[in-house]
Structure 1
Amino acid sequence: MLTINSDAKLKDLLEFPCSFTYKVMGYAKPELPERVLEVIQRHAPGDYRPKVKPSAKGNYHSVSINITATSIEQVETLYKELGEIDIVRMVL
C-alpha cells in the first residue's frame, strides 16, 4: 500500500485525468483476467483489452491493463482492491 509520502509524490507526478497502467501478477488461473476486469469496471468503466503474459514456468500470469484515471483516490482504491483478489500475488 502507498504511504503518505509516496501518495504526495504520486499526486504531484500525475495530472488527472491521465493514462495509468496496472500490472497484476497472480496464479495462472483462467479466471484471473476476468476478476481483474471486474474490479476495474467497478471503478473505471470502459472497454478494456488486458494483455496476459505467462511466466517462464507457466505458474503465474501477468495482466496489464491501461485505464484513464480521474483521481488519486481512484488509483489508490484500484491498487487496494486488485491486491485483495485471492489469486493475485502482486500489483504494480
Structure 2
Amino acid sequence: MIKPNAKPTPEEIFNFPCDYPIKIMGKDRKDLHTEMCCIIERHAGEIHPSQITSRKSSKGSYISYTVRITATSVVQLNSINKELQDHPLIAYIL
C-alpha cells in the first residue's frame, strides 16, 4: 500500500511479476537481433518469436525492436538495461 505523500517504490508501481516491454534501437544488422536476444534471455529466460516486434526506419538504416518479457524484479530490469546499454550495437533503449 502506498502511503499518502510518499513516493511509491518500483515494486509498488510494477506489481511484479508483470508484462514489460523493452524497446531497443540500433543499426539494422542481423547480429543486433541475435545479441539483443542473448542479453535478454540471460536475465529473463527464453524469448519466443511472438514476444518480439520490429520496425525499420524510413531509410532502412536503423531498426527498432520491442521485446515483451515477464519482469520479476527491479534488479532484473536494471541488469538487462545495463547490459543492453553497454553493448556497442545498441544505440538506444527505453
TM-score (norm 2): 0.82
Give the deviation of 1:48 after TM superposition. Answer: 2.2
Partner of 1:63: 65
- Please, which runs of 5 or more residues in structure 2 have no aligned partner? 1-7
> C-alpha distance in 2, partners of 1:91/1:9?
22
Instruction: Write the distance in 1 (CA, Å) between the matches of 2:15 and 2:21.
Output: 14
Kept after mapping to 2: 8 A contact 1:33/1:52? no
| Pairwise CA RMSD | 1.4
TM-score using structure 1 length:
0.84
Shift of 1:9: 5.2
Query: How many pairs were matched up?
Result: 85
Matched, 1:24 2:49: no
Once the two structures are superposed, the pairs formed by residues 5-24 of structure 1 within 5 Å of their partners are 10-24=10-24
In structure 1, C-alpha distance between the alignment counterparts of 2:16 and 2:55, rounded to whole Å: 29
Structure 2 residue aligned with 1:81: 83
Percent identity between matched residues is: 31
Which deviates further from its counterpart, 27-36 or 8-17? Answer: 8-17
Unaligned runs of 5+ in 1: 1-7
Q: Please give the secondary structure, in 2, of the residue aligned with 1:86.
A: coil
